[in-house]
Chains A and B, each alone.
Chain A
Amino acid sequence: MSTNMETAIEFANKVRVELGHLTSEQIADLTDGLEADIASSLDDGADIGSAKKYATDLLAAAGMSNGVEVVPNAVDVFINKARRWLVSISDLEPAWWIFRAWVATQLIGWLLFRDQSSSPGYLEWRYMQAGGIVVLGVMLYLSVRIGRAKPTKWKKLLSISHVVLAIAGLAFMFVGPRGETNGVDNGNPIFPRSLCEYVPVPDVVGLPVADAKEVLAGMGMAGTFFDQEAMTNLAQVPDVVIVLQQDPRGGSEVCRVSEIQYMVDLVVDLAAPMVTTSLPLQTTPTTVLPEESEATTTTSVKPKATTTTSP
């Protein structure tokens, strides 16, 4: 079927919608064979104008524009409504083009990264956002080109690909987010259970940053630091600052995948007194208080470090 014929069928349906106040029999009588005539007109390069004007001319010439009292029955009303709905669906075609480009992008992401985890593509693109955006742009371009060109020789192939994309899209939308393989937890990707090694998070609250880093590193973990006041992510934190809070809490079990560091959120207060200490080399660190610059304190620190201050 030619592109003009497809356009003609779509246009004829719109004309039928405009004639919706007539009975189905009258509409069929007026528009029977219309598609072929419109397609011929399009083949000649004619401008067919709007469906509304077309329907008005058709009605007037057929002598049905004035004084025609028609009361469509329930079946006619239903058919006209269904036809209107179908025409409105065809108007949504550009939305479908965007959707299928998005699904294709996810599918490519999944195909490229499926060895790294079994999660759907949008998780992987998360770590390659620029790449994902470029691929999405390319997919959008192709989708619109295909949608507008409607090459007839690809029609069967397109129909099959639409089915595949629709199924994949449903999988990404509904299966993915509920599955264990999607999303990010506390800055860490959630991996399939089969890849997980469940380990307890060490309790580093109260430790100086240097020690906290060391303890976490020993468990294959690292810290992401936040300032207590500003709650902003800190690129660099002095080693002597004390860790005030952590997430996940000490002792809780988390999924760790080999060679991938598990990130623990650590809250510090940059304005608080600083401690010069280290673990486990120095068991009696010295604490220097800003307001009492000459005061020194003795602290006994074991794996779970605390700082006690004496006058």
Chain B
Amino acid sequence: MVNSNDESLDRSQLVKGVLDLAVLSALSQEDGYGYDVVRRLRSAGLVDVAEASVYGTLRRLFATGMLTSYVVASDEGPHRKYYGMTPVGRDSIAAQRDQWVAFCEVINTIIKTKEDN
């Protein structure tokens, strides 16, 4: 689990850069509603992700065609809005995952080089 209070890196900025990938990945196995996605991210260790940021990201990914959406009515109150992956989204996950891995390798290389020196 990663905490934000004991480090000098601006985690909110780090999260912002990979939130699309994190959200898409959280929905890659199973459809879910907004807070469901928040729960999945938090249980995976992204404990300080802001709910509203996740909901905004879901709307944007839906608008760009990476997610599909449907509404499930509730007897106890307002409906829930569920999100699921689209083929475009799955392609995007693959591409973004490759980008992230490549990016991490670059950063790791830089960090390792500094440590060796």
Contacts and interface: CB of A to CB of B under 8 A. Distances in A.
Contact of A37 (B19, B34, B57, B71): B34
Nearest to B82: A33
Interface in B35-67: 35-36, 38-39, 50-57, 59-60, 63
B51 A41 contact: yes
Interface stretch (B2-10, B72-80, B86-94, B99-107): B72-80
A32 interface: yes
A2 interface: yes
Interface in B19-36: 19, 33-36
B99 to A, nearest CB: 19
Interface residues on A, range: 20 to 34
Given A1-B77, A32-B81, A37 B56 contact: no
Contacts of B35: 36-38, 40-41
A33 B33 contact: yes
Contact of A57 (B34, B39, B53, B59): B53
Interface of A is mostly: helix
A130 to B, nearest CB: 46
A32 to B, nearest CB: 6
A277 to B, nearest CB: 84
A38 B54 CA distance: 12
A58 B36 CA distance: 17
Interface stretch (A60-68, A75-83, A249-257): A60-68
Contact of B52 (A5, A39, A44, A58): A58
Contacts of B60: 61-63
A202 to B, nearest CB: 73
Given A41-B35, A46-B51, A48-B51, A33 B56 contact: no
A22 to B, nearest CB: 12
Given A33-B33, A33-B71, A37-B51, A61 B19 contact: yes
A44 B56 CA distance: 20
Interface of B: 19, 33-36, 38-39, 50-57, 59-60, 63, 71, 74, 76-81
Interface of A: 1-2, 5, 9, 29-30, 32-41, 44, 46, 48, 53-64
26 contacts: A5-B77, A9-B78, A29-B59, A30-B56, A33-B79, A34-B34, A36-B74, A36-B77, A36-B81, A37-B34, A37-B38, A37-B51, A37-B55, A41-B38, A44-B39, A53-B52, A55-B52, A56-B52, A58-B56, A60-B56, A61-B19, A61-B53, A61-B56, A61-B57, A61-B60, A62-B57
